[in-house]
A and B are shown apart, each in its own frame.
Chain A
Amino acid sequence: MKTLAALKVLVVEDEALVSMLVEDMLSDLGCIVVGPAAELEEALRLAGSADIDAALLDVNLGGRPIFPVADALKARGVPFAFASGYGEAGLSEGHKGATVLQKPFREADLRKVLEGLAAQVV
């Protein structure tokens, strides 16, 4: 169980304007941004080895699905949430039921999701 203060959050997002907003929101919430990663290879590298407490993943990364990154995080026991315009409909079978942050979202929505993730951090 952790608080949002100094929570290290990996951000995977391929659109500059979107990731800038997320970075601002996370900074406002006191979190430390890791990334943002805009490419799958970079995201996989960070998900596998970076010092992170949680992750926020854009479902669609330049037309490529994010799920390998989610699998890597799951394997490491790092809690994560998806950010998606599709809602849960865009998720693959293996990740149905995962936390989804519906785009667009308010800072308060992001806070709630992050608090949920922080609660899972052991």
Chain B
Amino acid sequence: MSRAEEDGFEDLVARLNTAEQALAEEVRRSRALNRIAEAIGAGHDTDELVQTVVDGGVELTGAQFGAFFYNVIDAAGEGFMLYSLSGAPRSAFEAFPMPRNTAVFAPTFNGEGVVRSDDITQDRRYGHNAPRRGMPEGHLTVRSYLAVPVVTREGAVLGGLFFGHSATGRFDTRAETLLIGLAAQAAVAIESVRARDAAQAELAQRRDAEERLKFALDSGRLGAWELDVETRDYTASDICKANYGRGPDDDFAFADLIASVHPGDRDRMSVAIEDAIRHGAEYDIEYRVRTPGGETRWVHARGRAAQTADHGGARRMAGVSLDVTERKRAEERQKLLVNELNHRVKNTLVSVQSIASQTLRTTGTPEAFRDAFEGRIMALSHTHNLLTEQNWEGVSLRDIFDFELQAFAPRDRVDFDYASDLQLSPKATVVLGMAVHELATNALKYGALSVPGGVVRVVWALEPGERQGSGDDPRLRLTWTEQDGPPVAPPTRHGFGARLLEKGLAGELSAQVDLAYDSLGLVCTMRLPIRALEP
């Protein structure tokens, strides 16, 4: 073998060795890339993922250290930057602010392209930005520099991968190519993790919303229901079932619902449902329902049919139901009360008209008219005060006497004798109040209360009905007896008081009233059927 041949052979061996080494290096890098790609794909969260990427980048490029700066958006929608390091402790960067968009960093953060430099300190882009004009003091020494933007397929910049070495000329085109591939994989992986996180957050949010909705429905005693328009499959929540008198485990199908609704309201309800399904009308209806226990309740149901684009019509209808029985009863009570009030107001006006007319017929002078009329209006007013105090629910007989007599006589001038007091209806209160007023006025003017020493005895007791055994009502026998007053004689003219007592009470309370003008004093005896007095 000639020398030239020997040289040539050695050269060949050397080249072969180089090629083998290069191949081995390429195989190592390829294996590393595969391993890293797999690790990236298996990443569970962004932090773990970017760490794998940076570690992989350091391994692939032979860098001394690497960093991944990436943008994140926090819950408040604010963007900020995080970073992950490899080959250097976190303390190596903690003293410095986040990298700015300097001439060196801009191509990376703006997603423009790769920056690769054998010596970054000699790069034309280096050292232009105030105040530091280069790396800050205490920064890791970086000469060889390789930076790749991490950009999604849609062109959004997620962040940048940065690698450095304190020696020059460390990163070749092969390293650059590998990093571009790594960055692309990182972008896809980060995107998919973010998409998954977003989906999970949305799911959690929906679950929260559903929880809140259930809480709101429960605390408002609102039942929830859903109806499949085609199959008429009906689902009802526990509260919804309870509104119809059903237990949580009871079957409650659409047919059961319809059957529960009061026959008088059923057509109206069916029309409303069809209207909501066909025309998208708001379903808002109140109807009576019969519970299995035979109770009648009022239910307020509201809902809406969900329009489906593919179908052209409604497929599902959903809504809420509320037991409004209490409210309905209150409304009915109120309506009754208002009607009753109207009736009373008008009747009171007629009463005043009647008192005026009759007082005018039985008094001789305007002064006498005014005196008597005012007294009677005040008596009527007193009775109304009493009734108002008792919420128009009835006043006791003793209360009527006390109220009407207080203006006429000291307590010791009137004796009471009775075993038990009696509750009276508002109607009986008004007419008895007037009667007591007339008796007292008469006693004060002409009878026992017109002289010192005269007294009135009021006695009442229950007595059985006259027609015993025929279901006749028990009666109240009440006597008003005047004593120690001037002698009395039957009046020559029949006054309002006598007429009210003898005719008025007889008519309104089915009473028998007897006025005896005893020479010792007036005795008024009333027999009042209890049924006409009670509330």
Contacts and interface: CB of A to CB of B under 8 A. Distances in A.
Contacts of A60: 343
Contacts, number: 76
A95 interface: no
B222 interface: no
B343 to A, nearest CB: 5
Interface stretch (A2-10, A16-24, A44-52, A71-79): A16-24
Interface residues of B, number: 28
Given A39-B510, A60-B343, A18 B351 contact: yes
A104 interface: yes
Nearest to B425: A62
B353 A62 contact: no
Interface string B321-345: 0000000000000000001001101
Tell me whether chain A's interface is mostly helix, strand or loop, or mixed. Answer: mixed
A17 B352 CA distance: 8
B361 interface: yes
Contact of A38 (B346, B353, B355, B507): B507
Please report whether the interface of chain B is mostly helix, strand, loop or mixed according to DSSP: helix
B382 interface: no
Given A21-B353, A21-B357, A21-B358, A16 B431 contact: yes
A15 B434 CA distance: 12
B500 interface: yes
Interface in A11-43: 13-21, 24, 35-39
Given A36-B507, A39-B510, A85-B343, A17 B349 contact: no
Contact of A16 (B342, B346, B353, B505): B505
Nearest to A35: B507
A17 B427 CA distance: 11
A16 B427 CA distance: 10
A111 interface: no
A16 B355 contact: no
Contacts of B343: 60, 85-86
A90 to B, nearest CB: 8
A16 B349 contact: no
A103 interface: yes
Contacts of A18: 347, 350-351, 354
A71 to B, nearest CB: 21
Contact of A85 (B342, B430, B508): B342
A21 B361 CA distance: 11
Contact of A14 (B339, B358, B427): B427
Closest 5 CB pairs of A and B: A85-B346, A16-B504, A21-B354, A16-B508, A17-B351
Interface of A: 13-21, 24, 35-39, 60, 62, 84-86, 90, 103-104
13 contacts: A13-B507, A15-B350, A15-B351, A15-B431, A16-B500, A16-B504, A17-B354, A17-B434, A18-B347, A21-B353, A36-B507, A38-B509, A85-B345
